[in-house]
């Protein structure tokens, strides 16, 4: 009963959002960002602290504040896009993406050749839309996703995520399931910009400061000799995305097994940083990425 009620309310909001002119959406998002920054203040200090870590040497305090407001606007647009997706037709949704077919072809060719493929991505742009779009261009995709605490919202979000054929993998016992999916020529998306302290992770540089970063990508790449393709989405306007797919990052052996894994984790983290620097207002600065950094 509760699920049906919430679902109907969200569908109504989705239809309402679809019918609004883009300038109204933009004005609403900008207004909400200002209210959030100056009144609500939820996690604003964390956002400012993180931006100062990344840009204190290159941006003034005023520029960092404006970037923080743009970032808050991004979260509002992100939520509105997730809501709008509920009632978009698949063809309408697919038409909202700009991409280079040759980039997609590289990933498909690797899968067709029986190679193990991992997608290196982050909480950048609209990552929920990016995941939903990927199977529509012929790339079978699975994501390792931590379930939500609310069963109602978990069911609702899972339905949206799997609507286009995305497979969801629980972090519990995910290793065996990932190996099985790789054997079925399914690409595995790794959302890499998440805090992982040792022993599950390494402290590696991120915007010039050490951040706890998962080692599982390096371990999986080494064990399965996988090709790792960096991929992210960039919002060009409300409900419009540009997909960036880059050449694979190959695993290099530079010393011991631990040294190899550390070096690869560091390289992938720097690639994520490079991606974020291109559209910094569209990353999740709200996440305390440098929590427990040995550098304070």
Range scoring the smallest mean pLDDT among 1-10, 92-101, 158-167: 1-10
pLDDT at 179 (0 to 100): 95
Range scoring the smallest mean pLDDT among 42-51, 66-75, 103-112, 143-152: 143-152
pLDDT tens-digit map of 246-286:
999 999 999 999 999 999 999 999 999 999 999 999 999 99
For the chain, percent of residues with pLDDT exceeding 70 = 99
Question: Beta 141-144 vs 167-169: how paired, if at all?
Answer: parallel
Whole-number Cα distances in Å, 169 to 117, 129, 188, 196, 202: 16, 18, 9, 19, 23
Residue 120 lies in a domain: yes
Residue 291 lies in a domain: no
Q: Say how many domains are in the chain.
A: 1
Residue 287 lies in a domain: no
Number of neighbouring beta carbons within 10 Å of residue 113: 10
Residue 216 lies in a domain: yes
Instruction: Give residue 245's pLDDT band: very low, low, confident or very high (50, 70, 90).
Output: very high
Residue 228 lies in a domain: yes
* Mean pLDDT of the 39-66 span: 98
Residue 295 lies in a domain: no
pLDDT at 152 (0 to 100): 80
For residues 194 and 285, the answer to whether their CB atoms sit within 8 Å is no
For the chain, percent of residues with pLDDT exceeding 90 = 91
Among the listed residues 153, 152, 159, 157, the one whose alpha carbon sits nearest the alpha carbon of residue 1 = 152
Domain range for 261 is: 2-282
Residue 166 lies in a domain: yes
Residue 293 lies in a domain: no
């Amino acid at each position: 009963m509760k699920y049906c009620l919430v679902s109907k309310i969200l569908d109504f909001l989705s239809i309402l959002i679809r019918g609004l002119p883009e300038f109204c959406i933009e004005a609403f998002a900008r207004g909400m960002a200002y209210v959030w920054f100056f009144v609500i203040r939820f996690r604003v200090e964390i956002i400012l602290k993180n931006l100062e870590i990344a840009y204190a040497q290159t941006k003034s305090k005023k520029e960092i504040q404006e970037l923080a407001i743009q970032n808050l606007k991004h979260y509002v647009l992100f939520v509105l896009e997730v809501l709008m997706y509920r009632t978009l037709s698949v063809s309408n949704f697919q038409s909202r993406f700009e991409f280079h077919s040759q980039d997609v072809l590289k990933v498909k060719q690797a899968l067709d050749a029986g190679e193990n493929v991992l997608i290196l991505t982050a909480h950048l742009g609209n990552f929920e839309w990016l995941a939903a779009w990927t199977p529509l261009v012929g790339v079978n995709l699975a994501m390792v996703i931590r379930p939500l605490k609310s069963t109602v919202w978990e069911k609702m979000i899972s339905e949206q995520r799997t609507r286009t054929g995305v497979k969801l993998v629980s972090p519990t016992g995910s290793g065996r399931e990932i190996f099985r999916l790789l054997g079925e020529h399914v690409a595995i998306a790794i959302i890499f910009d998440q805090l992982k302290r040792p022993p599950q992770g390494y402290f590696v540089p991120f915007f010039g400061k050490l951040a706890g970063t998962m080692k599982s990508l390096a371990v999986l790449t080494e064990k399965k000799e996988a090709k790792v393709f960096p991929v992210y989405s960039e919002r060009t306007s409300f409900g419009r995305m540009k997909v960036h797919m880059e050449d694979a990052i190959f695993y290099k052996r530079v010393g011991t097994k631990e040294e190899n894994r550390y070096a690869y984790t560091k390289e992938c983290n720097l690639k994520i940083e490079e991606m974020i620097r291109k559209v910094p207002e569209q990353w999740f600065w709200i996440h305390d990425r440098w929590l427990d950094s040995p550098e304070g």
